[in-house]
Structure 1
Amino acid sequence: MHEAGDVNLPGSAVLLDVELECLLPAHAYPFNQPGAGTNPFVYLERLEKWSDAGTVLRFIVSDTPVNAAVILDPIRYREQDGTNDIYCTIPLRGYRTLSAETVEQKATGNQARAVETQPEKQTAYTVQAGDTLSGIARRFYGDASLYGKLAAANGICNPNRIYPGQVLKLPDADKLPAARAAEQKPLSQKAAEATAVTFDQTVGQFKFQAGPAVKNLAQEALNRLEG
């Protein structure tokens, strides 16, 4: 882990990193310890099991202060002189226990997210392409739900319809009027109500006379299309 960069340990360069060369005897030599066996593969099998399992061992040198925790890298061994003795290379790597620091974190729960930025302060705003009243209310009041009141403050019957170039007044939040009810009549119906219809019996035809309000409705419809 240290070499991969996941853990940086002070003094890791002085951890034990040595290779022991040893003989696993196949005969009862005079230098054998009393009771030592003469089947070298018994010792070799135990060493390989420790190496494969990553078992933490103690490397102790008698009459010295050496007493270190180690793990074994893969064991290398060979026979070289026809005696059936096994010459063994045992790589020892210093071992150090890693400890993780636990940081207690307080549960936040399902709390409402605070406004990330402070609302802008302006008295008027010119609508841009792609704007919505809820987005404008969030930008200047920090609360998108005030879009209905903002519409009422600007005489907008349908808060879902604004158009680029339209100038909106931005009164203080506490001075916004109550939101109006949604517009009920479509433009076509309002235009029909503003148009006078008569029947000319001499020619047998209906005549339509548009009132002044129709012109305003036509302009409103054009503004909506452009928006």
Structure 2
Amino acid sequence: MAVLPVGGTPVRASLVIYDPPAGTGSTPGPERARVKLHFNPDRISVGKQARWDRSRAPSNEAAARPQFIGAEPRTMSLDVFLDAPGGGSGVQGEVETLLGCCAPTAQSAAAKPASAPWVRLEWGKARTTAFLAVVTQVNAVYTRFGTDGTPVRAECSLTLEEVGGSTPRQNPTSGADGPVGTHVVVAGDTLPGIAWRAYGDAASWRAIARANGIDDPERIRPGSELLLPVLEDGR
């Protein structure tokens, strides 16, 4: 059963795909693709585990206190429904893009270490699911075909695993990580993507646009330097 949106027109979710960082860096490269979901997910599963040790002396009958060893990466699974009612090339292109997330990019394979693209589920103000991850599994089931055999509908199950590190907090004025200050635009950058990396909230792109006098968020020039302002409550 689909979940009804709470108030107003629903924001459309997208899976944003980035080039992996060069070397052992922790910041993703430019955006390389974006799969706009035809229908928002009605269920997302997020999980995280911690490792504990309960070693004890053989003569001790009581349960030993657990000792924290480390945290496992966050995981997420979701189902993606793709539909191309108009026919044409169908949904094969989007499915191939998703499948390609499980393989190293040609650039990283040549430069070492080889790395698959990094991804992030971008869905309005959702933060629990907006972490950088790698795709560990993609299962696609084609459920409808055109008269020429072209798949025009697919149900895809995705499994993601957190890359690592902490998820940026949203508001620097509330004791969170402060603003980066400035950002030099590279090819493939978008204002929502820059806002998420700076504040942990893609919707904060409007604050960046206001601070830099940007009228058209679709036109940001590579090489230009953007001011990343301190966010005010309510922005």
- Answer 1 or 2: which has greater helix percent: 1
TM-score (norm 2): 0.26
TM-score (norm 1): 0.27
- Answer 1 or 2: which has greater strand percent: 2
* Structure of higher RCO (CA pairs closer than 8 Å, 6+ residues apart): 2
